[in-house]
Amino acid sequence: MRKPLIISLMLFVYAISSAQTQTQTQNQQVTKPPLARLGDQNKMTPWMTEIWDPEIKIIQPGAKDSDPPSDAIVLFNGTDINSEWEDTQGNPSKWIIKDGALISVRGAGMIKTKRKFSNFQLHIEWKTPSEVTGESQGRGNSGVFLQGLYEVQVLDSYNNRTYRDGQAGSLYKQRAPLVNDCRKPGEWQSYDIIYTAPTFNNDTTTYFTPPRVTVLQNGVLIQNNFSLRGPTEYIGMPEYFIKKHGAESLQLQDHGNPVAFRNIWIREL
């Protein structure tokens, strides 16, 4: 009688052990770890994170970094202003072209592109007069207005003290440049500007995502993905002037000084 009893007990213990093992296996399946944590049979492989299609668009870069790449829109080629620019009333501009440069004329007013843009990469070269007159904001003053609303200041800031959020490379009255790397008056300088247009909340007078600006002057980073508070204003707080808008023109400012521009091109992003 003892032997059958022992065998029965062994079978009972085995049945309980098997049930526990099965339950543990089921629980492990419910809480299965990510593939990267499993054994060799389910190990991540390099191809799982390699994306082949669609292929990256191929463009031709310029011969020099300052030259327009093949997908750029040339806004000024040194000879023609009327194909891409007009005054703010939609009339032909009174700015002049001299020696391949577009020069601001006192009293002619701002000019704007006929095309409108949202997100973009902009290259523009500028030069303040070699003959120095005036001081502070009265010396080689102009500006590049992104979407006609947000100004990157142009100014002769070489040995010319002014308020820090109004000197060359500033996002006017909102953010001073990280450094002053202006060249001497009469020498060509460059801005490379990366601009991300804003999106708006339902009230249309506040940003959901603000406009962001990065600027390199003469190849040096002077504005690093800065979020603007609102449109550029000479008097008042930028936040009070926010109004919903879409794509808008690029504008160049006539501030009474004969500032010259050349090699203007833009890439839509």
**What's the rounded mean pLDDT across residues 4-11?**
47
Compute the distance between CA of residue 203 and CA of residue 207 in angstroms, rounded to an integer. 9
Contact between residue 210 and residue 198 where contact means Cβ atoms under 8 Å apart: yes
Say if domain 73-268 classifies as CATH 2.60.120.560: yes
Assigned token pair, 59: 């463009």
Higher-confidence residue of 72 and 8: namely: 72
Contact between residue 223 and residue 178 where contact means Cβ atoms under 8 Å apart: yes
- pLDDT of amino acid 17: 47
- pLDDT of amino acid 34: 54
Higher-confidence residue of 41 and 96: namely: 96
3-state SS record for the chain: CHHHHHHHHHHHHHHHHHHHHHHHHHHHHHCCCCHHHCCHHHCCCHHHHCCCCCCCCCCCCCCCCCCCCCCCEEEECCCCCCCCEEECCCCCCCCEEECCEEECCCCCCCEEECCCECCEEEEEEEECCCCCCCCHHHCCCEEEEECCCEEEEECCCCCCCCCHHHCCCCECCCECCCCCCCCCCCCCEEEEEEEECCEECCCCCCEEECCEEEEEECCEEEEEEEECCCCCCCCCCHHHHCCCCCCECCEECCCCCCCEEEEEEEEEC
Q: What confidence category does residue 13 fall into, taking pLDDT thresholds of 50, 70 and 90?
A: very low
Give the global pTM: 0.83
Comparing C-alpha atoms, which of 116, 75, 117, 111 is closest to residue 96? Answer: 111
Domain ranges of the chain: 2-49, 73-268
Of the chain, the percentage scoring pLDDT greater than 70 comes to 85
Residues with Cβ within 8 Å of 153's Cβ and at least 6 positions away in sequence, in order, are: 143, 166, 167, 168, 169, 170, 171, 172
Q: What confidence category does residue 43 fall into, taking pLDDT thresholds of 50, 70 and 90?
A: confident
State pLDDT tens for residues 190-233: 999 999 999 999 999 999 999 999 999 999 999 999 999 999 99
State pLDDT tens for residues 44-99: 999 899 999 999 999 999 999 999 999 999 999 999 999 999 999 999 999 999 99
Instruction: Answer yes or no: is pLDDT of 107 > 70.
Output: yes
Instruction: Answer yes or no: is pLDDT of 11 > 60.
Output: no
Contact between residue 259 and residue 105 where contact means Cβ atoms under 8 Å apart: no
State pLDDT tens for residues 110-147: 999 999 999 999 999 999 999 898 999 999 999 999 99
State pLDDT tens for residues 249-264: 999 999 999 999 999 9
Instruction: Answer yes or no: is pLDDT of 14 > 60.
Output: no
State pLDDT tens for residues 156-174: 999 999 999 999 999 999 9
Q: What confidence category does residue 42 fall into, taking pLDDT thresholds of 50, 70 and 90?
A: confident
